[in-house]
A = this chain, B = another copy of it.
Amino acid sequence: MDKQKKILESALQLFVEYGFHGTPTSKIASNAGVAAGTLFHYFKTKDELVINLYNRIKGELNTYVYSQIDNNDTVEAKFRTLFNHTLYWALKNNQEFYFIQQFHFSPHLASIPPDELVNQAKPHIELFEQAVREGILKPLPADLLLTLVGSHVYGLHQYLAKAGFDKKRESEVIDQAFEMIWDMITI
């Protein structure tokens, strides 16, 4: 019913399948069951639609993942929760997660203000810094640790998305992968 939402859903699906420039706005609109002009009522330009979609998805992932964290948890429990729920979300929202990466390897990334990207990463960075101070993690730069753990998550998601295991096998692999990366970054 909500046409803006329909447009966003339609755009996501088509962008992931055909790429940003491989999907005309007319197709996004018709696929959403909406006239071509309606798209431009909600989004001034196609670029604005792309960026809006990215910000929404990034926001959904972040709020979901951080809603799972209990501040009374130990640092290790926090990392485990973050890791597990990021993967859980990514596997449940394959298109969204793929879109994030697609966006990161596109020129659109340049239109996100750098300080906003820093802000997005801030909670993660602070967790890493705290864990380094507490002597839990190896004394490495927090942004290096974040990049390495992030890559690990991306790679694991890619593997699991392609493999298509059942839930049981999936969480076995995730648990094993967490132990591996945890061993890697802890002292």
Chain A contacts to B: CB under 8 angstroms = 17-22, 98, 101-102, 104-107, 138, 140, 143-144, 147-148, 150-152, 154-156, 158-159, 173, 176-177, 180-181, 183-185
Contacts of A155 in B (CB 8 A): 147-148, 150-152
Provide the bound-state CA to CA distance between A176 and B139, in Å.
12
Taking a contact as CB atoms under 8 Å apart, the answer to whether A177 and B156 are in contact is: no
Q: Counting chain B CB atoms within 10 Å of each CB, which of A140, A159, A183 scores highest? A: A159
Contacts of A147 in B (CB 8 A): 155-156, 158-159
Residue in B closest to A180 when the chains form the complex, CB atoms: B184
Residue in B closest to A140 when the chains form the complex, CB atoms: B176
Q: Chain copies in the assembly?
A: 2
Taking a contact as CB atoms under 8 Å apart, the answer to whether B143 and A148 are in contact is: no
Contacts of A143 in B (CB 8 A): 159
- Contacts A180-B184, A183-B184: A107 and B148 contacting too (C-beta < 8 A)? no
Taking a contact as CB atoms under 8 Å apart, the answer to whether A107 and B151 are in contact is: no
Considering the complex of A and B, which 6 residue pairs feature the smallest CB-CB distances, nearest first? A151-B155, A21-B21, A151-B151, A184-B184, A19-B107, A105-B105
Provide the bound-state CA to CA distance between A28 and B19, in Å.
21
Taking a contact as CB atoms under 8 Å apart, the answer to whether B19 and A106 are in contact is: yes
Provide the bound-state CA to CA distance between A151 and B150, in Å.
9
